[in-house]
């Protein structure tokens, strides 16, 4: 079974990049960008990563300054808060977001 995950406050808010693409992060939901259209956050476990397939599930795990975020069985992304910016690391590129 999936366990709920609350996103830390420092990552929450409405973020946009220079191309006006939005990423909205609330306590239990992440939507926008390439992550999910409207995803509910759950704790990242090996079983959840392998068994659950849905565009409405976003698996999250905090490791130090990084917040790992991904769709089940998808490519992981990393969110890092750098001052007033939020950096989204996807595969080989980095997207800088601001409020």
Q: Which pLDDT tens digits describe the chain residue by residue (99 residues)?
A: 789 999 999 999 999 999 888 999 999 999 886 677 788 898 888 777 777 677 788 889 898 999 998 877 677 888 999 999 999 998 888 999 999
Predicted TM-score (pTM) of the model is 0.86
- The residue among 37, 33, 87, 42 whose CA lies nearest residue 60 is 42
Q: CA-CA distance, 14 to 33, in Å (whole number)?
A: 12
> How many other C-beta atoms are found inside a 10 Å radius of the C-beta of residue 59?
23
Question: Helices (DSSP H) in the chain: which residue ranges?
Answer: 46-51
Q: CA-CA distance, 52 to 73, in Å (whole number)?
A: 8
């Amino acid at each position: 079974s999936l366990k709920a995950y609350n996103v830390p406050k420092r990552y929450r808010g409405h973020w946009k990049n220079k191309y006006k693409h939005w990423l909205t992060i609330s306590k239990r939901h992440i939507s926008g960008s390439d992550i999910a259209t409207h995803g509910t956050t759950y704790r990242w476990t090996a079983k959840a990563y392998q068994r659950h397939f849905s565009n409405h599930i976003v698996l999250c795990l905090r490791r130090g300054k990084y917040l790992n975020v991904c769709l089940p069985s998808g490519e992981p992304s990393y969110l890092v808060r750098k001052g007033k910016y939020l950096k989204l690391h996807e595969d080989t590129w980095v997207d800088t977001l601001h409020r």
